[in-house]
Amino acid sequence: MFKKTYKPFALLTLSFTLLLAGCSGGNNANSTNESQPKSTQTAASVATTVPTVDMLKIAGSNNGYPSPFAFSSSGPFGYLRNSFIFDTLTWKDDKGVIPWLAKSWETSKDGLTYTFKLEENVKWHDGQAFTADDVVFSYNYYKTYPYNWNGDISQIKSVEKVNDLTVAFHLNNAYEPFLSDLVGIVPIIPKHVWEKVTKPVEFRDAAALVGTGPYKLKKYDSASGQYLYEANDNFFKGQVLVKEIAYMSAANKLLALQNGEIDQAYTTSYADVQSAEKAGLKTIKSDPTGSVVRISFNMDHPKLGDKKLRQAIAYALNREEISAKVTGGTPMVGNAGVVPTNSPWYNKNVKQYAYDPAQAEKILDELGYKKNANGVREDLKLNLMTSSAMPDATMMKEMLKKVGIELNLVQLDSAAFTVALGENKYDIALTGHIGASGDPDYLRLWFSGKAANTYSSRGKSLKLDEFHKLADKQMQEVNDAKRHEIVNQMQDILAEELPTLVLYHRPFYEIHKAATFDRWKNTYGGIADGMPLWENKVFLVNVKK
């Protein structure tokens, strides 16, 4: 019945590693997924004890109460705060998908059933035993009370308890990102805590933060947005290396690092990186980039509904200049097909829109938008909605003015901005978010209105039937080469229709004091569903197996 397995074995030497099997449900048992390579695991039942750090102070802000139902979905940091407390069946390190609450798994030949063997002797933070009942309960509970982030559980037909330490997932159809983007994202919650909770978003009892993870929440101040975590000394995966983690507000993160007020921060400014390195701090650049700054067009707008107008706007914007001035580093002009240009899923032959104001003028003239004596196309006045004072917006205004388009800047607070996005009450929206590092199934989620991130126009589906057919097809395709071709076609459609235009792909940089803690790495394909950040709990643990 089953054709693929992942099963770590105890070996005689620590240098011998196992290749991860079962990441793909393909027809070829040796097939690999370019975006998710075979992970290697050092075969060892016991890890050597290593020195610990008493306290790690990280720059942060308020991202909501870190239960699975109450953290903020306006960005990835709420998810990360939650992931320290709650665990998933699989996780990722710098090589790819690794076992976590599940120690091994098998995949059926048709790709419709995944059977997981669970770790033994795992305890919840309150001391009760973790079992298969918690896994089955969690996924059934999320069907009634949705988890506050991604993880498309609609792909799951049922979850079956085989025995106390074995569960089987039966899918509606083959789903290639299952291991990384479903069971690797959705946290398991304790049945004994949540089975009587009917208002999970409002649940604030101490039991709401009972997980199996490497950390427990010691203190949370919603007013200041500060969090204090303490290590779970009984963590099943191994020794937790940092005893306490404090997320602290820092008005000037670089200065706070130099003054010793914090030990780690992130930035999107290359100038900060240069200053940090001169000051003796260590930096890491996100790889792949995984972050996009883009404009979304209201496809129901009476004028912007015409793709020729959207294409004219694309030609009128010098995106290389915007990227260089905003990030300060080497420009990484946005792919018209959305996928970052340094991603293994990038379609190098996709249509692009080089800066060409003459071509923009030509299209606008052909569309009948004539200039008046002042060079303004009076019938083409548009609003650009932002959620902050982004310098990109000012540059866009000046560039479009050169081809006769008058752009009015409208700045809203983040709450009003996300409401307007969801209700389609805007002309053009300028937004930035992350999550483009990993499996390309995010294209399906973004443009079908199913993405958790509120800046992804959640709830609004792109009206392009062929795109959606391809999106459904790619998630079920287990042959890597064929899946790449489908994803290439999706990028071709996005580049031609331009429902959104990525201005640039924004690199993130981590800055830290290496003398305090120096185990940070890039997560392959990004944490969870493609977060190009560094607060991956696996690097905070001396994993024993």
**pLDDT tens for residues 387-421?**
877 889 999 999 999 999 999 999 998 889 888 88
Average pLDDT estimate for 172-182: 96
Domain end among 199, 230, 253 = 199
Asked if residue 481 and residue 352 are part of one domain, the reply reads: yes
Report the distance separating Cα 162 and Cα 396, nearest Å: 58
User: Can you tell me whether residue 240 is helix, strand or coil?
Assistant: strand
Of the listed ranges 140-154, 391-405, 455-469, 477-491, the one predicted with least confidence: 455-469
Going by C-alpha positions, the residue among 486, 450, 510, 462 that lies closest to residue 339 is 486
For residue 216, with 0-12 CB atoms within 10 Å meaning exposed, 13-18 middle and 19 or more buried, which class applies? Answer: middle
| DSSP letter (8 states) at residue 241 | S
The string of pLDDT tens digits covering residues 227-248 is: 999 999 999 999 999 999 999 9
Q: Quote the tokens at residue 186.
A: 């959705």
* Type and span of the H or E element at 347: none
Kindly state whether residues 309 and 172 are assigned to the same domain. no
With a pLDDT cut of 70, the percent of the chain lying above it is 89
The pLDDT tens digits for 328-369 are 888 899 999 999 999 999 999 999 999 999 999 999 999 999
Residue type, 134: D
Beta-bridge mates of residue 434 = 291
Q: How many other CB atoms are there within 10 angstroms of residue 104's CB atom?
A: 17
| Burial class of residue 468 in the structure, from the number of CB atoms within 10 Å of its CB (0-12 exposed, 13-18 middle, 19+ buried) | middle
Q: Taking 60 as the threshold, does the pLDDT of residue 21 lie above it?
A: no
CB 119 within 8 A of CB 212: no
pLDDT tens, 46-61?
Answer: 457 788 999 999 999 9
CATH of residue 154? 3.90.76.10
Same domain, 307 and 421: yes
**What total number of domains does the chain contain?**
2
Structural domain range at position 165: 87-199
Domain of 314: which CATH number?
A: 3.10.105.10
- With residues binned 3-state (H G I as helix, E B as strand, rest as coil), the percentages for the chain, rounded to 5, are 25, 25, 50
Calculate mean pLDDT across residues 15-30.
Answer: 32
Q: Is the pLDDT of residue 32 over 70?
A: no
- Checking if the pLDDT of 27 tops 90, the result is no
Least confident stretch, 107-111, 117-121, 317-321, 460-464? 460-464
Q: What pLDDT is attached to residue 432?
A: 86
Q: How large is the average pLDDT for residues 178-182? A: 96
Q: Is residue 166 part of a domain?
A: yes
Residue 73, in any domain of the structure: no
- Same domain, yes or no, for 174 and 316? no
pLDDT, mean of residues 6-11: 41
pLDDT digits (tens, 9 = 90+) for 53-94: 999 999 999 999 999 999 998 888 999 999 999 999 999 999
Q: Is the pLDDT at 7 greater than 90, yes or no?
A: no
> Is 398 inside a domain boundary?
yes
Residue-level pLDDT at 424: 85
Mean per-residue pLDDT of the chain: 88
Q: Which residue has the higher pLDDT, 36 or 304?
A: 304
Determine, yes or no, domain membership for 58. no
Are the CB atoms for 517 and 64 separated by under 8 Å? no
* Mean pLDDT in residue range 10-30: 32
The reported pLDDT for the residue numbered 5 is 54
> Between β-strands 242-248 and 40-42, what pairing exists: parallel, antiparallel or unpaired?
unpaired
Residues 364 and 470 in one domain: yes
Residue 122 belongs to some domain of the structure: yes
Residues 379 and 483 in one domain: yes
Please check whether residues 369 and 493 belong to one and the same domain: yes
| In-domain check, residue 6 | no
End-to-end, the C-alpha distance of the chain in Å comes to 28
Distance CA 399, CA 402 (A): 5
Please say which residue of 505, 525, 540 terminates a domain.
505
Find the mean pLDDT for residues 125-132. Answer: 98
Please provide the size of the chain in residues.
545
pLDDT band at 6 (very low <50, low <70, confident <90, very high): low
Sheet holding 2-6, edge to edge: 2-6, 102-108, 113-118, 166-171, 156-163
* Residue 218 located in a structural domain: no
Q: How far is CA 316 from CA 105, 321, 402, 432, in A?
A: 51, 12, 8, 20
Pairwise CA distance, residues 161 & 134, whole Å: 10
Are residues 499 and 357 located together in one domain of the fold? yes
Residue 496 pLDDT level (bands cut at 50, 70, 90): very high
More confident: 290 or 354: 354
Torsion of CA 22, 28, 34, 37, to 10 degrees: 30
| Cβ neighbours of 286 (radius 10 Å) | 24
Q: Once rounded to an integer, what is the mean pLDDT over residues 512-532?
A: 94
Can you tell me the mean pLDDT for 488-494? 97
Q: Which of 199, 227, 261 is the last residue of a domain?
A: 199
Asked if residue 77 is part of any domain, the answer here is no
The residue behind tokens 């509120």 is 454
Predicted local distance difference test score (pLDDT) of residue 34: 35
